[in-house]
């Protein structure tokens, strides 16, 4: 799992990310790129407690140029692995929602994914914004669903919360006539895919 903001910090790290991505593609692994965090903002508390002690916030970056160039380089050199893109700033939802469409390629459906809301967006509004952007700009039916923070057992209930949020959004679409009630069997299958089967196929478990 990489922090994409580091790509802008020098040629050495850019070369590392490029080489790592090529190795992911060679091994058939999935690359996950997270960006948008501004870490350790409070110097006094950083000196007292050290890094990663709760003084982080959302960053405000312009990432379209760098992210597009990075992925284009990987695609052009046949070294772009299956990739999930996560943003911490919801203002970039449409950037990612359209960026992933530039690099879709068979045989993997939804090879480039727009990752679920994470960290500060790991709540109802953040999840709904991500889901709505994806459904408007991409294929919600190919979405691999909720991120798990494996460092914390307390994160696992988020999957149930995500499923309820997803079902509520889709249920509202059916209620408002935006999805046909006659297609309930297909809608049920889509929900099952997003909550389990898409990830199983995508990660090749």
Q: What is the pLDDT of residue 6?
A: 46
- 2-203 maps to which CATH number? 3.20.20.140
Q: What is the pLDDT of residue 11?
A: 64
Q: What is the pLDDT of residue 62?
A: 86
Q: Which tens digits make up the pLDDT trace of 62-99?
A: 889 989 999 999 999 999 999 999 999 999 999 999 99
Q: Quick check: 114 and 97 in contact, CB under 8 A?
A: yes
Give Cα 188 to chain centroid, integer Å.
Answer: 23
User: Does residue 31 surpass a pLDDT of 70?
Assistant: yes
Q: Quick check: 100 and 71 in contact, CB under 8 A?
A: no
Q: What is the pLDDT of residue 4?
A: 52
Q: What is the pLDDT of residue 12?
A: 61
Q: What is the pLDDT of residue 2?
A: 53
Higher pLDDT, 8 or 36: 36
The number of residues in the chain equals: 205
pLDDT band at 15 (very low <50, low <70, confident <90, very high): confident
Contact residues for 21 (Cβ-Cβ < 8 A; gap 6+): 31, 74, 79, 80, 81
DSSP class per residue in the chain: -EEGGGGGG-HHHHHHHHHHHHHHHHHTPEEEEEE-EE----HHHHHHH-SSSS--EE-----HHHHHHHHHHHHHTT---EEEEEESSGGGHHHHHHHGGGG--TTSTT-EEEPPP-GGG-SHHHHHHHHHHHHHHS-GGG-------TT-GGGTHHHHHHHHHHHHHHHHHHHTTSS-GGGHHHHHHHHHIIIIIHHHHHHT-
pLDDT band at 185 (very low <50, low <70, confident <90, very high): very high
Q: What is the pLDDT of residue 152?
A: 64
Stretch 41-63: mean pLDDT, rounded?
92
Q: How far is CA 203 from CA 22, 45, 188, 198, in A?
A: 17, 39, 22, 8
80: left (phi over 0), alpha (psi -120 to 50) or beta: beta
Q: Quick check: 54 and 107 in contact, CB under 8 A?
A: no
User: Does residue 156 surpass a pLDDT of 90?
Assistant: no
Domains of the chain by residue range: 2-203
Stretch 143-169: mean pLDDT, rounded?
83
Share of the chain above pLDDT 70, in %: 91
What is the spatial distance between Cα 42 and Cα 48, in angstroms, rounded to a whole number? 10
Stretch 114-140: mean pLDDT, rounded?
93
Q: What is the pLDDT of residue 151?
A: 60
pLDDT band at 13 (very low <50, low <70, confident <90, very high): confident
- Average pLDDT, whole number, for the chain? 89
Q: What is the pLDDT of residue 7?
A: 46
């Amino acid at each position: 799992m990489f922090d994409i903001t580091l790509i802008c910090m020098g040629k050495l790290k850019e070369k590392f990310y490029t080489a790592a991505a090529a190795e992911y593609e060679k091994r058939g692994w999935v690359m996950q790129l997270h960006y948008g965090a501004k870490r350790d903002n409070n110097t006094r508390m950083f000196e007292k407690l050290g890094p990663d002690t709760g003084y982080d916030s959302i960053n405000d970056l312009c990432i379209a140029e760098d992210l597009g160039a990075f992925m284009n380089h990987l695609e052009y050199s046949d070294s772009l692995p299956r990739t999930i893109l996560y943003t911490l700033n919801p203002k970039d939802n449409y950037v990612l929602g359209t960026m992933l469409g530039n690099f879709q390629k068979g045989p993997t459906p939804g090879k480039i994914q727009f990752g679920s809301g994470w960290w500060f967006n790991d709540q109802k509004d953040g999840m709904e914004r991500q889901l709505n952007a994806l459904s408007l700009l991409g294929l919600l039916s190919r979405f691999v669903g909720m991120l798990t923070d494996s460092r914390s057992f307390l994160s696992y209930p988020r999957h149930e919360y995500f499923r309820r949020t997803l079902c509520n959004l889709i249920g509202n679409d059916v209620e408002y006539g935006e999805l046909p009630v006659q297609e309930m069997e297909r809608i049920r299958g889509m929900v099952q895919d997003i909550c389990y089967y898409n990830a199983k196929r995508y990660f090749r478990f």
